[in-house]
Copies of this chain bind each other. A is one copy, B any other.
Amino acid sequence: MNESTHLAAVLRPVRAGNAFEETVERLLQAIKLGMVTEKLPPERELAARLGISRVTLREAIRALQEAGYLDVRRGRYGGAFVTYVPPPPSQGDLRRAVADMGTDDLADALTFRMAVECGAAQVLAAAGIDGERRDTLRRRLREVNSAGPDDYRRLDTAFHLAIAELTGSSLLAAACADARLRVTDLLNAIPVLQRNIQHAAAQHEAIVAAVLAGDPDAARRAVAEHLEGTAALLRGFLA
């Protein structure tokens, strides 16, 4: 194994696609994750946030509009309104989603998610968090644990992301968001069963308890167990 082994990690493609494609992807994920429930920010603001021109953003919005995800209205109090509602889960969708990304990429994504989420929980537990942030974490926990099937995925995402964000590292938050994005389609394709929610709730409790107790090992273990459960659920529906 010579030096070129590591080169792959550094000399990888500089950009994933053109600006238009990446923008469509981003917006689609924001919508599917339920992070934008009403309407998108104004074009000018959104373009600035995404670091692209308004023209490119508008092309992406138009594509999503034509695909039925958005309803764009002009005039004051207008905007790009989200019309997307998650489709009912089906095994067919799951298999298609897996086929779309390939089994290698699936393993990659699950491994990546395991690493960054465990890392985030561990860091947060090790650093300790102050009163206000403790409240935030507890609130997220309450929200996801009291969610109904419709809101569950969205609030689960919010909970997991909150852990990364509370570390104060935007790089870590971005990595966790990215990891979650990569499995969104898969999770959306499997049904949300009350039994699974309750099982996950106990694990969420354990994660929060470990973080609040400042126990990095316990936090790591709790997250690992939780994500293992999710992965097992996926495998179950695929088998």
Residues of A within 8 A of B (CB): 1, 3, 5-15, 19, 22-23, 26, 29-30, 33, 35-37, 41, 46, 49-52, 107-109, 111-112, 114-120, 122-123, 126-127, 136, 139, 157-158, 161-162, 164-165, 167-177, 179, 181-182, 216-217, 220-221, 224
A114 to B120, CA, bound (A): 9
A51 to B15, CA, bound (A): 7
Is the beta-carbon distance between A122 and B29 smaller than 8 angstroms? no
Number of copies: 2
Please list the 9 inter-chain residue pairs (A to B) with the smallest Cβ-Cβ separation, ordered nearest first. A115-B119, A13-B51, A119-B119, A111-B169, A112-B171, A9-B177, A9-B173, A10-B30, A108-B169
Is the beta-carbon distance between A22 and B14 smaller than 8 angstroms? yes
Give every chain B residue within 8 A of A35 (Cβ-Cβ): 3, 6-7, 10
One of B23, B41, B112 near A169 (C-beta < 8 A):
B112
A158 to B2, CA, bound (A): 11
A116 to B119, CA, bound (A): 6
Is the beta-carbon distance between A1 and B136 smaller than 8 angstroms? yes
Is the beta-carbon distance between B6 and A15 smaller than 8 angstroms? no
A10 to chain B, nearest CB (A): 5
One of B107, B108, B115 near A116 (C-beta < 8 A):
B115
Sampled A-B contacts (25; CB under 8 Å):
A1-B139, A6-B35, A7-B30, A8-B170, A9-B170, A11-B46, A12-B170, A12-B174, A15-B22, A15-B51, A15-B52, A107-B168, A107-B169, A108-B170, A108-B172, A111-B167, A112-B171, A112-B172, A114-B119, A115-B172, A118-B220, A119-B122, A122-B224, A171-B182, A216-B220
